[in-house]
Amino acid sequence: MADTGGEGGTACVAAPGQDIPQALSGDPFTQVGAVADAVLYEGYLLYPYRRSSAKNRVRWQFGVLLPRTWVEADGPVAEGISGSADSWYQRTECLVRAAPDAVLRVRVRYLQLQRKQVETPGEDGQYRPAESLRGDDGTAHLSFDEAVPYEVDLTWPLAELLRGPRTAEVSAPPAVDTEELGAGRVVRRREHVRAHTTVAAEKLADGLYRLCVRTENAGEAPDARAPRAHALRQALLAAHTLLAGEGLEFVSQTDPPAALRHRARGCRSAFTFPVLGGPAGESADGATGPVLLSAPIILPDHPQVAPESPGDLHDAAEIDEILTLRTMLLTDEEKAEARATDPRAARILDRVDTMPPEVFANLHGAIRSLAPAAEEVSGARPAWWQEGGDAGLSPTTDTVTVDGVPLGTGSRVRLNPRLRGADAQDMFLVGRTAEVAAVFHDVDGSVHLAVTVDDDPAAELHGWYGRFHYFRPDELEPLGDGTEPRP
C-alpha cells in the first residue's frame, strides 16, 4: 500500500498490461466485478475485431477524460449524465446512510492508452516504424493502439471527509516495454496520465449524508488543436468509480425511498451515472445497497452479466448469440488480421472457435419475466414511453423553444452538433436535416430531442423501433418551413 498524497487516503494499483484481479479477500467490490469489467472494456475493440475495420478507427467512446485545455479549446463542456461525451472530469453525487464511525472506500478505474508500434531494422541497424511484422514463429503483429487497466483504491473515515474535502492522486505513470521478435521488435509506449480524485461529504440529517466524488484529468495538452487520437494518449479511458465501505449503505438515485426522493433529486452527477451494485433485495427497503457503481454508461440498479454469456465480446449492448455467429463466419484471412491486431481479439477468436455446442446453445437466451405488451392505437403514446413514468411529461407532445421557435414531434431542423464534448459519430451529421420524433427530459434536468435524419433509407424503420439520434436544443437549428410541431 502506498500513500497517494491525500490525508488518510491509501492506494493500490494493478500491474500494467495485466487484467485487474479481484483484490484481497473480503473485497466489497467483488460482487460488481464482472459488470465493472464490462464497463471498462465496452467498445475496446468491436466486431470484426480487425484494425482495418472502419468501426475500430474511431475508438474509446465512453468515460473519456482528456486534458482540460484540449476539451475546452472550443468552449466549456455542457454537463450531462452521458459518459459518451468527451470531458475533462467526472462527478458522482449520491446519498449514503452511515454510522458516525463509517469508513468509505473509493476505487477509481480506467484504461491507459498503450501505443503498440512495430519496428524493423534498417541497413544502418536503426529501428524504424512499420505497419506489420511477422515474427520468427510465424505470428503476425500489427501496429495498433492497445490499453492497459489501471485502478487506485482510496480509503477515508467519514468523519475526516466531513471536516473537508480530501484529494488523492490517481495518475498512471509512463512506461516503455520492448518485445524482441528476431526480424524486428514491438515497442509498447504509455504516456503519463495525470489525474486526481477529490472526495467530500456533507451531513444532511442524522445518519444521512451526501457524497461527492470528482475525478479530473490534471494534464496539459501540448497542442489544444491536436487530433483526438493524439490527445487520447494522456486520457483516462472508460473511467468509472466504485464506492463501498464499512458502516454505510448507499441510496438508489433512480428509485430512492419516498422519504428521500427530494434529497436524491438534489444530487447532481456529471458524465457518469451512479447505480446500486450487487444482487437486489439485500436492504430492508430494497432501495439501498452496500456498493455503488458510477459508470459512464446508463445502467439500472443491480446490473448483472447474463449467466448465459461465456465471455467478454467488448460490446455489452450486443446480443452474444448474433455476435458469436458473426465471429464464427469470419474468413481465415479476417481471423488472421484480428489475431495480429490485438491479443484480446485473439482470445475472443480462440474462445469462439473452441466453444462447445452446449455453451453455444445457451446463448439463445432465456425469458426471465413476462409482461403483456401494450397495444398501440392511433393517438396512443409509443411503446417506448411508459405511462405514468414521469407525471406531466409526454415526449410526443412536449415542446422546447429554440431561437423563438417551439420544437416538438414533426418539427424540421438542421443538425449542428458540437464537435468537441459530443459523441464522435456526430461529426458525420453536421449540416444534415432531420425531423424531431420526441422531446425527452433527462433525469438531470437537461433536455434532448430525438430525431430521424433525412435521406436515411432506414429512417422509417428506426422510427418504428424507436431508435433515434439525440441532440441538445442548442445543437439544432429550426428550419424555415414546417417547424411547427404536429398537433
CA nearest to 275, candidates 259, 255, 258, 247: 255
pLDDT value for 381 = 42
pLDDT value for 294 = 97
- The percent of residues above 90 in pLDDT, for the chain, comes to 57
Count Cα neighbours of 422 within 13 Å in the Cβ-side half-sphere: 21
**SS3 for 471?**
strand
**In 170-257, at which residue ranges do the beta strands (DSSP E only) sit?**
175-180, 185-190, 195-205, 208-217, 236-251
- Segments in the chain below pLDDT 70: 1-26, 281-286, 317, 367-392, 419-425, 443-444, 464-465, 480-487
At a CB cut-off of 8 Å and minimum separation 6, what does 307 contact?
none
User: What are the pLDDT digits (tens) for 137-162?
Assistant: 888 999 999 999 999 999 999 999 99
Alpha carbon of 399 to those of 368, 446, 450: distances in Å? 37, 13, 12
CA–CA separation, 290 and 292 (whole Å):
7
pLDDT value for 396 = 81
Bridge partner residues of 410 (DSSP): none
Q: How far is CA 481 from the centre of its chain?
A: 38
pLDDT value for 430 = 86
pLDDT value for 389 = 52
- CA geometry: angle at 457 spanning 454 and 458, to 5°? 100
Containing 155, the helix (H) or strand (E) segment is strand 144-157
**What pTM did the predictor assign?**
0.76
pLDDT value for 87 = 94
Contact (Cβ atoms closer than 8 angstroms) between residue 251 and residue 275? no
At a CB cut-off of 8 Å and minimum separation 6, what does 67 contact?
88, 217, 219, 220, 221, 231, 234, 235
Radius of gyration of the chain (CA): 24
Strand order in the sheet with 469-471: 469-471, 447-453, 433-441, 412-415, 476-478
CA–CA separation, 451 and 206 (whole Å):
46
pLDDT value for 315 = 84
pLDDT value for 444 = 64
> How many CB atoms are located within 10 Å of the residue 300 CB?
12
Listed in sequence order, the DSSP H helices in 2-116 are 33-40, 68-71
